[in-house]
């Protein structure tokens, strides 16, 4: 592999211990079983799967919220194993995350300016004036106005809040951005705006995305590579065109069959079947 690979994951496992009770034996649950993947700089990997398949656990390990049980994660050549080495400010700056629900991920009592400056305050020694400049720049970059700086989250719509969450994530100029279902809580028209914003930012800043989603139409639009997870295991991994045109695993096929089709031919077929 060339040195262009920014995220390298090899055979990662994550198990959780489940406590026993009076009538229940203690057991372990393996949420992620032997996941390996490579993501090249400036590309997008989409992780698809149903709830409980381990895709969010994977995201938590990539963003250093949670440690892996075994296996190696390497981000831009830097090995990550927070259970052994802990976590440094430099490591924090390499990866950031955007969560699904923009209503839940912003503190209602924090002004937007403060939301954006906090990562800098915690991780850098930047003077306050510079932080403010940077925050104002970032607001414009994600399509908001400078006057939004002093406002509170409740004054914004869902789409605007997701823009704020994205702005906060890229304040540190991370190399890797993990997006955990960033558009599934949004309306169709707002979803299109956010997807466009993400594409623009990727071009402009050379960002690498790990995009977690269960919406295949969004994945098809945004991804370069696609990984399908099922019960903690990777069942399909390849370029977008390979996975969409020639799915190998039974589960991937089920997933494609279940996705609602909004083209005229499918509607005609359905109406014909109904009339018969």
Partner 1 sequence: MSLLEIRNLKVEFDTAKGPFKALDGVDYTVDPGEVLAIVGESGSGKSVAMLAMMGLLPNTATITADTMTFEGLDLQNLTAKDRRKVIGKDISMIFQEPIASLNPCFTVGFQLGETLKTHTDLKGRQIKDKVVDLMTSVGIPDPAGRLNAFPHQMSGGQCQRVMIAMAIACSPKLLIADEPTTALDVTIQKQILDLLVKLQQDSGMGLIMITHDMGVVAETADRVIVQYKGRKMEEADVLSLFESPQNPYTKALLSALPENATGDRLPTVSDFAEAGGF
Q: Which is nearer to partner 1, 13 or 103 (CB)?
A: 103
Q: Look at the alpha carbons of 92, 163, 203, 57 in this order and tell me if their dihedral is positive or negative.
A: positive
Member of 41, 92, 141, 220 binding partner 1 (CB under 8 A): 220
| Window contacting partner 1 (CB under 8 A); options: 60-68, 92-100, 115-123, 261-269 | 261-269
Q: Shortest Cβ distance from residue 274 to partner 1 (Å)?
A: 8
92 binds partner 1 (CB under 8 A): no
Q: Does 271 bind partner 1 (CB under 8 A)?
A: yes
Q: How far apart are CA 171 and CA 131, in angstroms?
A: 10
Residue whose structure tokens are 């690498």: 208
Maximum CA extent, the chain? 72
Restricting to residues 147-176, which ones interact with partner 1 according to CB under 8 A?
A: 158
Instruction: Find where tokens 């955007």 sit.
Output: 98
User: Contact, 209 vs 9, CB < 8 A?
Assistant: no
- Region near partner 1 per CB under 8 A, out of 9-17, 94-102, 233-241, 262-270: 262-270
Query: Which two tokens mark 67?
Result: 């440690």
**Residue 145 interacts with partner 1 (CB under 8 A): yes or no:** no
State the nearest-atom distance from the C-beta of 205 to partner 1, in Å.
17
Q: Which is nearer to partner 1, 178 or 219 (CB)?
A: 219
Listed in order, strand segments (DSSP E) in 76-167 are 78-80, 95-98
Distance CA 236, CA 233 (A): 9
Q: Nearest distance from residue 264's CB to partner 1, in Å?
A: 5
Q: Are 155 and 75 in contact (CB under 8 A)?
A: no
Contact residues for partner 1, defined by CB under 8 A: 50-51, 158, 187-193, 195-196, 199, 214-218, 220-222, 254-255, 257-264, 266-268, 270-271, 274
């Amino acid at each position: 592999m060339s040195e262009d690979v920014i995220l390298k994951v090899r055979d990662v496992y994550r198990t959780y211990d489940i406590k026993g009770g009076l009538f229940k034996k203690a057991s372990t649950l393996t949420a992620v079983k032997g996941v390996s993947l490579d993501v090249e700089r400036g590309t997008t990997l989409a992780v698809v799967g149903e709830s409980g398949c381990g895709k969010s656990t994977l995201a938590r390990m990539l963003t250093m919220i949670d440690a892996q049980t075994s296996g190696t994660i390497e981000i831009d050549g830097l090995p990550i194993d927070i259970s052994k080495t802990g976590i440094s400010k430099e490591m924090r700056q390499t990866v950031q995350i955007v969560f699904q629900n923009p209503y839940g991920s912003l503190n209602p009592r924090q002004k937007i300016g403060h939301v954006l400056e906090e990562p800098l305050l915690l991780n850098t020694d930047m003077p306050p004036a510079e932080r403010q400049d940077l925050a104002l720049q970032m607001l414009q970059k994600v399509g908001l106005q400078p006057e939004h700086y002093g406002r509170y989250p409740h004054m914004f719509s869902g789409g605007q809040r997701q823009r704020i969450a994205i702005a906060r994530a890229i304040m540190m100029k991370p190399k890797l951005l993990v997006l955990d279902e960033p558009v599934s809580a949004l309306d169709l028209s707002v979803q299109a705006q956010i997807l466009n914003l993400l594409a623009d930012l990727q071009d402009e800043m050379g960002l690498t995305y790990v995009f977690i989603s269960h919406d295949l139409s969004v994945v098809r639009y945004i991804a370069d590579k696609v990984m399908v997870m099922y019960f903690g295991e990777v069942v399909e991994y390849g370029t977008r065109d390979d996975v969409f045109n020639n799915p190998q695993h039974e589960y991937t096929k089920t997933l494609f069959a279940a996705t609602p089709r909004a083209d005229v031919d499918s509607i005609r077929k359905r109406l014909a079947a109904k009339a018969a």
